[in-house]
Chain A
Amino acid sequence: MTSIRRLISLVVLLLCALIFWTALPAGAQGDPPDPATPGPLAVTRAEYNFGDTAFTPPGFPGPVEVRASVHFPTGLSGGPFPLLVFLHGRHATCFVGGAAFLQWPCPPPRESIPSFQGYDYLAEILASRGYIVLSISANGINARDNQVPDLGMLARAQLIQHHLELWKTFNSTGGAPFGTQFVGKVNLNNIGTMGHSRGGEGVVRHFVFNASLGSPFGIRAVLPLAPVDFSRPVINNVPLEVVLPYCDGDVSNLQGVHFFDDARNNVASDTAPKHTILVMGANHNFFNTIWTPELFPAGTADDWLAFVTDGSEDQQCGRKQQSQRLSPEEQRGTLLAYATAFFRNYIGGETQFFPFLQGDAPPPPSAMTDQIHVSYHAAAAARRDVNRLLTAANLTTNTLGGAAAETGITPYDLCGGEVPEPRFCLIGQPNSRQPHTSPSARAQTKRGLSQLRAGWSDTAASYHNDLPAGQRDVSGFTAVQFRASVNFNDSRNSIGVPQNLSVTLTDGTGHSSTVRVSDFSTALFFPPGGKFGAAVVVPPFPVPKVFLNTVRIPLTAFTGVNLTHIRSVEFRFDQSAPGALLISDLAFAN
């Protein structure tokens, strides 16, 4: 009897637990922990400053400061600790009262604008998790970078390298101002870099520069934040996360997406995953507190409102009641979430955060918004490209050598990639509304992302890719994925209405399994933006934008098919007709 009671109690307990579990929000049922939760370590903040003219990058037309902030675990017990290096972007350099200036050095009573301090909120969290976080001042470069052809990118790389050389000394023999405090405490073979705006291309250029010197420092992760990409440097075999604010009023064409697009197929055996994080409602400046109005006395701006004509009127990015702009605090939250996830995953080896970077987990609470979309390109060994959609041949024969075909798709062509593809995918739309093909200032002839331009008028339409023999066992992968954007310029899409389609896997015995994209992804949202009361496609706003985000569907969702013998992948446009999408990168991936 006692045993029966115990059994009943156990069953009741399990039922209660089950009810409680199912009552939890979806995100609480096994999503990874929030990566931006402050860690257990106390943090010390310090600065070093070797003077405003302490270093002249070779070939650069003026001296620059050697100054930085450092956040590190107080006491430095244990270690060596990985090193993160931040580099701010282009901004006014000097101020007095509320007035800002662009010159270097700053003549008294003018003082230096401490742009490098603008990421302290992020550095503090990462240091509490066991990182030494360096944020470099680069005002001397900003004051003169428009005088050199590469707009100061090599100088930025040289400045980062100069600081790393200093840290090599701090770590080996020690030196002023830290004495021997950091001797043996810094892992210079496990470094992550983050650069904002021109600093974004700067950290990419630094990766190339460091490699050209034989990689004296181990750069293991690179994060360009709202970056420019003037010269289109491409980096491979290093994890890359490009964070792009949808309401960027400065670098409004989101040209930094090229870092991701250009790197994807550049190296056949690329060992590194790549990510883009599209933050809806975010502008350019609010990631840096020193550039944010009311947080610093001079040189601040809400770039969307300041630089975009009539920007306040925009329904996504403006200041109307209906707009979707993030507050400065919310915007910093998005960087906290996705920078900590990125560095803790790739530098710290905390792989539980990887689902955030794949888009498999919703944004953590620290992001303070769920309006974030992810693109994910797996490392070569973790991916089987079904159709890269790079050339016209891929319209009939996919990357694996299988047949590709359409039914009822018009147009069915490629755009944005190499000649003879048309350079732009959206006819009559400005470049800021099609970032993947936006020309770069110092690489004008370089083309952008090759995309399948596809539209359909009825629900019988489909797009089909065969997997040839020898490529049909996909059981070693976890998902089928592709990148897509609703083409707002095609009137077959209803303004403001998301698109949807089905994906069908068919195995060698003819069994099929079909899932709806909307059950797993929000990537097919209608790109928001435009003036209230006006047709959404009317210029001048830089939004709406087409931006290809990853649709990722777990293979476990395809029940009843033999994943060791998948014969085809088919898109069935049976959920919503008519419609039009831009598509790239159909693959199986982990």
Chain B
Amino acid sequence: MAPPTQARSARGRVSSLALVALACLVFFAPATAQGNNTIKSITTVGQTVEITVNSTIQFDVRDELVVLMIGDQEFTTSRSPEDGNLNELIFVLTLDQWNQVATGDPVSVQYGEDDASDQRNFGTLDKSLLNK
């Protein structure tokens, strides 16, 4: 009977350690709202390109400006989808603006232009996804 008990104890210690480690990770991780972030679509609409981003954490409706960063460029024309879903934002770029960004540029969304808060990363831009 002892070995199983020891085994359970060992597993229990491992589980406890794992829980503690997880708790530490949760506690000490930056509280930035990252969630699961994806670029949902890139679509040409008339003379503009619309980039729809999706996050599992809602984009708060704030008075500060919401900004899409692609590389070192900022884009601030945006709207919510027609259904009002706060997990998505649609940024609108002119064709000139679209031509100034490149595949591989890092993509992020933040509030405010200089002292960004609630910055979320969306990986890198793949321009070949336009209209796909």
- Residues on A facing B (Cβ under 8 Å): 89-94, 100-103, 106, 110, 142-144, 146-147, 149, 151, 197-198, 228, 230, 249-253, 284, 299, 301, 303, 306-311, 430-432, 438-439, 441, 542
Contacts and interface: CB of A to CB of B under 8 A. Distances in A.
Contact of B66 (A89, A146, A439): A146
A439 B113 contact: yes
Nearest to B28: A310
A144 B83 CA distance: 13
B62 A250 contact: yes
B92 interface: yes
Contacts of A151: 65
Contacts of A142: 61
A228 B80 contact: no
Contacts of B62: 90, 250, 303, 307
Nearest to B32: A309
A387 B10 CA distance: 75
- Classify the secondary structure of B's interface with A: loop
Given A151-B65, A252-B64, A307-B62, A100 B77 contact: no
A439 B92 CA distance: 23
B79 interface: yes
Interface of B: 30-32, 60-66, 76-80, 82-86, 92, 111-115, 117-118
A431 B65 CA distance: 15
A23 to B, nearest CB: 47
B66 A301 contact: no
Contacts, number: 94
Given A92-B86, A103-B83, A147-B79, A432 B60 contact: no
Nearest to B119: A309
B46 to A, nearest CB: 14
B61 A251 contact: no
Contact of B63 (A100, A149, A250): A250
A309 B30 contact: yes
Contacts of A228: 63-64
A432 to B, nearest CB: 4
B77 A147 contact: yes
Contact of A307 (B76, B83, B111, B113): B111
A309 B30 CA distance: 7
A102 B31 contact: no
A31 B77 CA distance: 50
Contacts of B32: 309
Nearest to B82: A103
A540 to B, nearest CB: 9
A103 B84 contact: yes
Given A146-B79, A250-B62, A299-B61, A431 B115 contact: yes
19 contacts: A92-B61, A94-B84, A101-B83, A101-B86, A103-B83, A143-B84, A151-B65, A250-B64, A250-B111, A301-B60, A306-B60, A307-B60, A307-B111, A309-B31, A309-B118, A310-B30, A310-B31, A430-B114, A432-B115
Given A147-B92, A307-B117, A441-B113, 18 more contacts: A100-B61, A101-B84, A101-B86, A103-B82, A143-B84, A144-B79, A198-B63, A230-B65, A251-B64, A252-B64, A252-B112, A307-B60, A308-B117, A309-B30, A309-B118, A310-B30, A432-B115, A439-B114
